[in-house]
Amino acid sequence: MRWVVVTLIALFALLQYRLWVGEGSLAELHALRAQMAAQEVELAQLRARNSDLAAEVDDLKTGLSAMEERARSELGMIQRGEVFLQVIEKPLEPEGQ
């Protein structure tokens, strides 16, 4: 009878070890849930970025205003009849001179 009790205690200790420390433990489960939450946040950010890029592509395909805006800002282009003015400011003179 004594060996049955010792065996049951050893089995119980082994199961408790696996629950708290071993493979598939509660600590590992908590770490995996934290990783999953971080990946879900990153996925939401990437989906929002993809949505913005898809809207921009659609706007570039269908509308001329986006294309005109890019030509003006990135390439410095102007329309016919417009006058381009470039303002060059004087550098500030150091005080005391």
Domain presence at residue 55? yes
The pTM of this model reads 0.50
- Give the per-residue pLDDT at 74: 83
Calculate the CA 79 to chain-centre distance: 38
Inter-residue contact 24 to 18 (CB < 8 Å): yes
Asked if residue 9 belongs to a domain, the reply is: yes
State the residue range of the domain holding 71: 2-75
What are the backbone dihedrals phi and psi of residue 2, each rounded to the nearest 5 degrees, phi first? -65, -40
Indicate whether 13 belongs to any domain: yes
For the ranges 15-24, 35-44, 47-56, 80-89, which has the lowest average pLDDT?
15-24
